[in-house]
Structures are given as C-alpha cells and as structure tokens.
Amino acid sequence: MNPEQVREFDLKADINQLTRFLIQQQQADGTWRFCFENGTIIDAYMIILLRTLHYEDEAFIQQLHQRIIKEQLPNGCWKLYEDEEDGNLAATIDNLQALLFSGYSQLNDDSILKAKQFIRSRGGITNTKGLLCKAMLAITGQQRWPKAISSIPMEMLLLPTYLPINFFEFSGYSRVHLIPMLIMAKQDFHIQSPYPLDDLFVSPSTRYEAEEFESASYQQMQERIEEGRNRLLGSSLNDIASEKAVQFMLDRIEDDGTLYSYASSTILMVFSLLALGYDRQHPTIKKAIEGLIQMRCYSSSHTVTIQNSPSTIWDTALLSYALQQANVKASHPAILKANSYIVNMQQHKKGDWSVHNEGAAPGGWGFSESNTINPDIDDTTAALRAIYSMSQENESYKEASVLGLNWVLSMQNSDGGWPAFEKNVDNKMVTWLALDGAKAAAIDPSTADLTGRTLEYLGHYSKLKHDNHHIQRGIRWLMNNQEADGSWYGKWGICYIYGTWAALTGLSAVGITSSDKQVQKAIEWLYSIQNRDGGWGESCTSDRRMQYTPLHHSTPSQTAWALDALIAMHDRPTSAINRGIKRLMALINENGWPTIYPTGAGLPGNFYVHYHSYRYIYPLLALSHYYEKYV
C-alpha cells in the first residue's frame, strides 16, 4: 500500500467518531455552546468593573484572578498567542491593574514584581498602543484620556449621513465602543485606583504630557468633522449631542442587558453611565452586569473566563451543516432541534445595517444568542446552509431561506464584495483617526473571506445561475483582490490560509476551475506552505505584518481549511492532499498547544479568538468532503 494512501476504514471511523461526539455535545435546546475564548482582556476589565461597583461575589472575582495568574509567563508578561514575540505590553498592563484591583495580589508578590519589570523593559505604560488599554488607564486615573478620543467633538453624532464624515461612516463595532469612551473623555471621568502606577512611567512628566502624534490625514479628518459641525445651527449642540450619545447606547441594549451583545462595549457603557452620575445600583447597570456574568465559560486551561460575545448561533449553524455534510440526515433529531433553534433566531427587525441599506427587508442572523439587531453576512450564510435541506420541503424554512437570501444579496457592496455587518462602510477617511487598530476596526470593507463564503453559499445552495450579476461581481472582486503570491487575506480568521480557503471554495462553487491561472497560483501557494508533517499552520503575526507568517506547527482548523480548498479544486487526491488528510486525522486526537492556538481574528495585534468548536467543525467538513468526493 502507498504510505500516503488514506485508508477508507480509518477515514470513515474518524468521521463517525467526530459525528457521535458532536451529537453528544448538543444541548437540550438544540444548540452547541462551545467557548469563544479571547485571552484575558475581558477578565481583567471585569475585575476592575466589579470592584468599582463593590460587587459582592468574591468567589467569581477570585476565579477571574486565578485565570489571569495561570496565564502569566515566567518573565512576568502575558501573550495573546503562543508565538507572540516579546510578550504583549497592553495585555500585561491590563492584567497587572486587574490583579491589584482584585485584592488577591499584593504589590510585593512575585507575579506583580515580574509584570512591572516587564512593563519597564518595554518602555513603560506610555509605550502601549492598545486603545482599550489606554482607555482603562484613563478610567483608573493612571493617565489622561487619549487626545485621539478627547478631541473628537461629540457633535459628530448630529452630522447628517449625507456628509462625507458622519458617525455612521464608522463600523458598528467601533461606534458602540467609541460612544462610551467619548462620554467619559468629555466628563474627564476616572475612578480612584488603589494602586497608582507612577513607577511605570519612564519619567514623571510623561504621565500628563505624552500625546499622540497627529498626522496630516488625522488633522484633515478633524477639519472635515469641524466643517460639518459648523453647518449645524443652535447654541446648545453639545448638550443635544451628549443626550443623543446616551440614548444611542440605551437604544442598543439587548434583552440580556449588554450593549450590542459585546462584553467589551458593555463594560465601557457601564463606566460611562457612572461618569454621567448613574448610581451603582441603577437597574441598567445591574442588568448589564448580569448579562456579562452570563457570558462565562471555561477556558482551555479549565479556568473561568468571560467571552466577549458567545458564539452560540455561529457554532450551532456550522455544526448542523457539518453534520449534514457528514451524512447525518436532516430528519435526525439533532438536526431537527438545531435547525428549529436556528430558524427561530432569524432577525425580523431593522438595525443599524439599514442606515446604508434602507430599502432592504430584514432576514439575517447574528453571532450571539442575545444579538437581535446586529446580523452579519457570515452567520446568515452559515444559517442558510444549515437549514437548506429543510427549506426544500418545509414552508416556514423556505420562507426563512428566501428572506435570508434576499438580505445577503442586498448587502453586497458597490465594489462587488461583501462586508461583515454593514453595506458600503468603507470610508478610508475614518481610518485616519490616531487610534491603534483604526484601520482594521473603524470600517467594514469587502473581504475575501466574506466574499468567498457568500459565493460558496450562492453557488451551492441558491437558485441563482452562475452568470447572475451578484455572482459575477463577487467573482471580479475576488480576482481583483488576490495577493501577489496567490493567496487571499482573510479578516476574520488567521489569516491568509483562511482567506484563500474561503476564496477557492467560493470560486469553485460558482464554476471557476483549477484551470484558471489565478486559481492555479493559489493552489501552488497552498502547496508551498504545507508543513513537513503534512499539515498547515499560520501565525497570528500574519495580520500584524500583513504577510503570511508560518507557525511552524500544524493546527486542526488551518489544516482543514487548506485541505478543503484543495479538495474543492482537484478531481483526484494528490499525494500532498493525502498527507494532509492523514495529519488531520492525527490532529483530531492531539492535545498540544497547536490544537488550542487562536485561529479566529478580531483586531490585529489586540484581539484573537480560540474557538473551542473549530477543532471539530472544520476537520469534520474536510474529512467529509474528501470522503464524498474521492472514496
């Protein structure tokens, strides 16, 4: 037997093993509730917030403290991912503050002394670029509010949407974080930290004198905002704008008390309400804390952590689809329960997405269970794949599918690609803000992963012909945005492997074959980065450098993505594909750090996600597609 040949018996056994395991993990309500693990940043901010509110649950605070301590490295720092060079300054500052706020760490503890030494060795507190870290330092009174925030006029909220700069030119994610920070900055809000960090400033003067560099583009953006403000009439615009800012937050609080279903924005919102004089026991604040605490899960180190936005809908849709790809029938109880849950989570009211897409009817799905006003393209196409079989026979599922398809088509950007949340929110001017991460977070442009995944859905599951103008425009966008080396950059996964997988599977679904020169180049790129062990692995550093950076280890999800793309483009398995499948089959049963490496992306250099579900979903899909096509 050829050593690279995949044994049919072993392959089918692994598919069945994964299938049985996942069905056993399903909850009674039809969902899968895997952890959406995102480092220690939310845990740190929760400790500071709970202590500020005099929250009485010592056991919970101690659990968060233990989680942070457990993740600290011997040199005193914290990292966002295993191979991050030199540690992460912002994470270390955040965690140091949280440990001290908790009361379970003291100034002379070895962990505190090492963390402080690491911060000093990296230039001190003022050397951090992380916006949320800077905001928390301002909240705790360690330094002034960043000028990049405090200099933004609140009246920007009043600018009409027809002006070149207005508040809805920012992405939805950035809006719900920017508003509470603007409120606090205008109030010059801070709490009294029990542990001033004066010894972590490189010199005494930098605490109040350090200001961000103002580029010419940033100054130009400020001038445009000022022009818009001067066109408004009235003498009390600031008061009106401040009232609108507060109402903006209150209008977007979900039933669980969170702001837009994000923990990070909810924490900022609570602090901003305190800045406005809200009592610590105010119902809005109490409800927000209840919602945050409901976001608990167990991390890969078996400690309690707070998810930034639980991935229940996303995981449930993907797992229903993956199981069906593994030949679990749509009539199976697990699929029936999952799809019943999914169809009930479809959104039927307009949210902020309708500002730039006013005429479209609702019909999308969100990421988290509490999310009722912020649907996105990826969750919607995932849900539509999951319920496809049932939509062919059941009228209510058919209606949901039609609504979802129409919403997805309506959200296509003018450039032909698809965004994540909002249509045509790609004004480069707002990225000129002097804020770390503004380029990635301030706008919501077309991306290869969203465009590729949408084309994959349209090609395989919609009734549209491949010469449909939506499909053709999507193809053109992908072809025009391929990297020089043949890869595509993916925004919501790590990173070039993710984008290339989405692009190739999408192009294959709409009839583009391996004979296409650009497809050939992408295939050659995937082969060129295959690890010696047969798998694939990419470092989170890729999205900071904006070029592919090898991890030098194979991860389950990235190996599955690369294989799924190659399987889509090859009529027969190559020796490289077979080696990859054998490595993937081994990875399923491994438990080293590469199997829990974060392959979900959020904000380059600041926020990465270890989806606990990914080590099951994508291997099951790749193995099933291999079996269906080649065996």
Closest by CA to 292, choosing from 48, 26, 69, 611, is: 48
What is the rounded CA–CA span in Å between residue 364 and residue 292? 24
**Which residues partner with 78 through β-bridges?**
88
Distance set, CA 57 to CA 192, 286, 289, 349, 562 (Å): 21, 14, 12, 37, 45
What is the rounded CA–CA span in Å between residue 313 and residue 316? 5
What is the rounded CA–CA span in Å between residue 179 and residue 167? 10
Helix axes 517-528, 496-509, angle to 10 degrees: 140
Residue 401 identity: S
Per-residue DSSP letter, 81? S
What is the rounded CA–CA span in Å between residue 350 and residue 254? 14
What is the rounded CA–CA span in Å between residue 495 and residue 474? 20
What is the distance, to the nearest Å, from the Cα of residue 416 to the centroid of all Cα atoms in its chain? 23
What is the rounded CA–CA span in Å between residue 621 and residue 134? 41
Distance set, CA 279 to CA 184, 255, 607 (Å): 16, 21, 31
If DSSP codes are grouped into helix, strand and coil, which group holds residue 253? strand
What is the Cα gyration radius of the chain? 24
221 token code pair: 């953006």
Closest by CA to 133, choosing from 259, 41, 263, 262, is: 41
Residue 111 identity: S
Active site includes 239? no
105 token code pair: 């760490």
What is the rounded CA–CA span in Å between residue 212 and residue 284? 34
Q: Are 100 and 88 in contact (CB under 8 A)?
A: no
Q: Are 156 and 225 in contact (CB under 8 A)?
A: yes
- Out of 378, 379, 436, 449, pick the active-site residue: 378
Catalytic residues: 378
